[in-house]
Amino acid sequence: EPEVTQTPSHQVTQMGQEVILRCVPISNHLYFYWYRQILGQKVEFLVSFYNNEISEKSEIFDDQFSVERPDGSNFTLKIRSTKLEDSAMYFCASSASGSSGNTIYFGEGSWLTVV
């Protein structure tokens, strides 16, 4: 069964450092997303991406965050200068279309710890 894959599964970084989280969406999917979940809290939408540009972003997705699709398979989330409060599980997701109701498939997540 096709799946969304994410690397690394766990990363520890020092405050102020840059972090890049990588994702390979399902191959025939066109819409890509990043969500995050702080420990014990709800899953929160960060950004959606289609046709090589951001289609929507939340208030969480400020200037320290960026996304990129550098080649035909990878989708990355960059956090420029990490803060302690960025510690969370980051989920990449993809869907075949962007219409409301289309199934979104989540990767297993990248657990980011900022120290």
Partner 1 sequence: QKEVEQNSGPLSVPEGAIASLNCTYSDRGSQSFFWYRQYSGKSPELIMSIYSNGDKEDGRFTAQLNKASQYVSLLIRDSQPSDSATYLCAHGGGNNRLAFGKGNQVVVIP
Q: Which amino acid is at 107?
A: G
> Hey, which residues between 63 and 102 contact partner 1 (CB under 8 A)?
91, 95, 97-102
Of 45, 60, 69, 76, the one binding partner 1 by CB under 8 A: 45
- Return all residues near 101 (Cβ < 8 A) that are at least 6 apart: none
Looking at 20-28, 66-74, 77-85, 105-113, which segment touches partner 1 (CB under 8 A)?
A: 105-113
Q: How far apart are CA 83 and CA 54, in angstroms?
A: 23
Site mask, partner 1, residues 4-33, x = CB under 8 A? ---------------------------x-x
Tokens of 63: 């200037």
Q: Is residue 48 close enough to count as binding partner 1 by CB under 8 A?
A: yes
Strand partners, 54: 49
Of 35, 61, 65, 75, the one binding partner 1 by CB under 8 A: 35
Tell me the three state secondary structure of residue 20.
Answer: strand
